[in-house]
Structure 1
Amino acid sequence: MRVTFDLFTVHKRFALTISRGTYTENTNIGLKIESEGVEGLGEATPFSVVNGKEKNSEQLQQELEKLIPIIEPFHPLENQEIEGILKQNNVSSSLRAAIDTALYDWLGKKVNLPLWKIWGLNRNRIPPTSVTIGISSPEKAVERVRNWLNFMDAKVLKIKLGSPDGIEADKAMLLAIRQECPNLPLTVDANGGWNLKEAILMSEWLATQNVKYIEQPFAVGEESNLPQLYQRSPLPIFIDESCFNSEDIITYSPSIHGINIKLMKAGGLSEVMRMIAIAKACKLQIMYGCYSDSSLANTALCHLAPYADYLDLDSHLNLIDDPFQGVSLERGRLVLNNLPGLGVKYRNET
């Protein structure tokens, strides 16, 4: 098979601020696998869970350039062998995700079926996606809510908390949002911005605000706080940055209620399927999330969305220059098409 790639930069319509910083654009890698006249597409998005430890797109490019001669001798159907080689070479999870996704796209196009049909899933069971409100002043948060509601029929709002100004700033922002839309369900993501005392206090307070769950209350490395919060919180606790793969689920399952699966963390759809199986065996709830992913990566993960309890696949909706088109938006829900493979095309493609 032949492997090629290019870099593309996407810009956010509205900047996103979380506890670790503010993001306005991202440079991702678009990967292409070609064999037997069939082309499979994948995407690698640089991301970080700890400030200062992420790989940027240039570093991923250098890693990919060394990797291509190693995997090109394989056939796209040799996914198990390719996955083993990627792990042996300690390849970054986002690059593994791009390659694995492209292999599945190739397979679907080869047999002329969308992935959701190959896996026998019901695309009508995909839950609505939440849309994200970043950390800001109460006034700007309300403005962002109005922008989203003018753009789409949002069914769930995801609120980023963990403000550097403390939990009182978090409360003020959430109360302003709640006043603006008193009936919409909310979810909360602290992105590791709280300590144990703050997390307990906020869980008790948020339970009075029609909040569905709290995501990633503690920073990576502070997971020892999870059992105490698990015992005290009236709301379900999900982890994101603390859970990359299926092994992490087993480690933390006694002290959480759910996990956030992201394609870039997991390293591809193959690992996502393993994570789903283990999470369900541990009786955990499942949500899917994203980084600054385009429609390509979000459409890929959406093919497994019938397994999810919650979706937060909204990054592509906030891009002004998404080069791809795939999953569509209808009444707050992402809807998969009937095209083969991922069902993704370049936006300028007829």
Structure 2
Amino acid sequence: MQVEVDLFTVNKRFPLTISRGTTAQTTNVWVRILQDGLEGWGEASPFGVGNHSQSTDTIKNCLQQLVPVLDKFSPLQRQEIEQVFIKHQVPSGVRAALDIAMHDWLGKRVGLPLWQLWGLDRNVIVPTSVTIGINSPEVAKARVRDWLQHLDVRLLKVKLGSPDGIEADRKMLLAVKEEAPNLELFVDANGGWSLTDAIEMCNWLADLGIKYVEQPLLRGQEKSLAELKERSPLPIFVDESCFTSSDIPHLANYVDGINIKLMKSGGLTEAMRMVHTARACGLQVMFGCYSDSSLSNTAAAQLAPLADYLDLDSHLNLTDDPFTGALVKEGRVLPNDLPGLGVQYSASAT
């Protein structure tokens, strides 16, 4: 199969601030595989978690090195190609782009959307949350209003873990709740709390009716999750602490759910493994994203019928998404009926 690699830059309508910093623009990688007159598309977006970082240059350079290695394979040989990934210690973002592209190609080969090829029920997909980044209470309120004008919002995910401490978190959360009193709220601290603050905040948030708390502690502090789970009235989800299915059994006794992101997992193949592993361990499942365009989020939406929660909103905050794919209806990100991912290039993107 022939592999082509291109870069594209996307800009956020509203910069997103989390506990680790602010993102306004990213340069992502578009991968196309060509075989038998068909093209399969995939995407990799840069991300960083603690001391783990996958930059655009890292992803692009690795892909370019793999091009001649993959030339002898067909997109139908995913098991053999996975062994190549393992042998060459290929970063998860690179694996994700290629794995998504191979799945897209397969769907086009058989003429079916992936969700239908897997026998999934699109009707059970839950609404996606949209994200309110760390800001002053006034700016957070304005951001809520912006989302409500832009989209049929059903759920809000509020980023906490402010560098200014939990009092700043409280003020912002109350402002969001005041602006959207009828919307369900989730909280994501992105590892921005100490154990003491996490225990205090989980109890405070429970009194406000918050649904769950995501990644309250830093990646690397997983041993402290046992005490937090014991003392928290809220369900605990992990994101940065859980990359692949092999992480799940070690976390299962200390958390209630995991956040699966294609860039962390290495694509749809591993994401499916993570779903089944999580279910076997009695955990709930969420699908999330980084600074992904419609290409990656449409790929994740193919598996959305298997999720309890969705946080696939990054493409909805872009001013220049070069792709179109999943539709948004009643707050739900729904894959369409086109074969493969059902993603098309938007010539009007600037």
TM-score bracket, normalised by the shorter chain, equals over 0.9
Deviation track 1:29-61 (CA, whole Å, cap 9, x = no partner) reads 00000000010000011101115x413212221
**For residue 101 of structure 1, what is the amino acid of its counterpart?**
I
Q: Counterparts of 2:58 and 2:262 in 1: how far apart (Å)?
A: 19
Runs of 5+ consecutive residues of structure 2 not aligned to the other structure? none
Question: SS where residue 117 of structure 1 aligns?
Answer: helix
Q: Name the stretch that deviates more: 163-172 or 65-74.
A: 65-74
The aligned counterpart of 2:242 is: 243
Q: How does 1:187-198 map to 2 (within 5 A)?
A: 187-198=186-197
Q: Does 1:7 align with 2:7?
A: yes
Q: Counterparts of 2:94 and 2:79 in 1: how far apart (Å)?
A: 16
| Identity %, equivalent residues | 58
Q: Name the stretch that deviates more: 13-22 or 60-69.
A: 60-69
**For residue 28 of structure 2, what is the amino acid of its counterpart?**
N
Q: Counterparts of 1:84 and 1:208 in 2: how far apart (Å)?
A: 49
Deviation track 1:232-284 (CA, whole Å, cap 9, x = no partner) reads 00000000000000010011100000000000000010000100001001110
Q: Counterparts of 2:71 and 2:209 in 1: how far apart (Å)?
A: 51
**For residue 258 of structure 2, what is the amino acid of its counterpart?**
I
Q: Counterparts of 1:7 and 1:272 in 2: how far apart (Å)?
A: 24
The aligned counterpart of 1:296 is: 295
The aligned counterpart of 1:279 is: 278
Is this contact kept in 1: 2:5–2:64, CA < 8 A?
Answer: no
Q: Counterparts of 1:22 and 1:59 in 2: how far apart (Å)?
A: 21
Q: TM-score, normalised by structure 2?
A: 0.98
Q: Counterparts of 1:85 and 1:309 in 2: how far apart (Å)?
A: 33
Q: Counterparts of 2:190 and 2:269 in 1: how far apart (Å)?
A: 26
Q: Counterparts of 1:183 and 1:225 in 2: how far apart (Å)?
A: 34
Q: Counterparts of 2:9 and 2:322 in 1: how far apart (Å)?
A: 9
Q: How does 1:145-160 map to 2 (within 5 A)?
A: 145-160=144-159
The aligned counterpart of 2:119 is: 120
Question: SS where residue 252 of structure 2 aligns?
Answer: helix
TM-superposed CA distance for 1:336, in Å, is 1.5
Q: Counterparts of 1:257 and 1:335 in 2: how far apart (Å)?
A: 26
Question: SS where residue 211 of structure 2 aligns?
Answer: strand
Question: SS where residue 8 of structure 1 aligns?
Answer: strand
Question: SS where residue 338 of structure 1 aligns?
Answer: coil
The aligned counterpart of 2:39 is: 39
Q: Counterparts of 1:190 and 1:316 in 2: how far apart (Å)?
A: 21
TM-superposed CA distance for 1:330, in Å, is 1.1
Deviation track 1:81-119 (CA, whole Å, cap 9, x = no partner) reads 001111211101011000000000000000111001100
Q: Counterparts of 2:82 and 2:97 in 1: how far apart (Å)?
A: 12
Is this contact kept in 1: 2:297–2:315, CA < 8 A?
Answer: yes
Q: Counterparts of 1:298 and 1:175 in 2: how far apart (Å)?
A: 30
**For residue 176 of structure 1, what is the amino acid of its counterpart?**
A
**For residue 4 of structure 1, what is the amino acid of its counterpart?**
E
**For residue 297 of structure 1, what is the amino acid of its counterpart?**
S
Matched residue count: 348
TM-align CA RMSD: 0.9
TM-superposed CA distance for 1:63, in Å, is 1.2
Deviation track 1:325-350 (CA, whole Å, cap 9, x = no partner) reads 0001112111221100000010129x
TM-superposed CA distance for 1:182, in Å, is 1.2
Deviation track 1:1-35 (CA, whole Å, cap 9, x = no partner) reads 10001000000000000000000000000000000
Q: Does 1:206 align with 2:173?
A: no
Runs of 5+ consecutive residues of structure 1 not aligned to the other structure? none
Q: TM-score, normalised by structure 1?
A: 0.98
Q: Which runs of 4+ in 1 moved over 2 A?
A: none
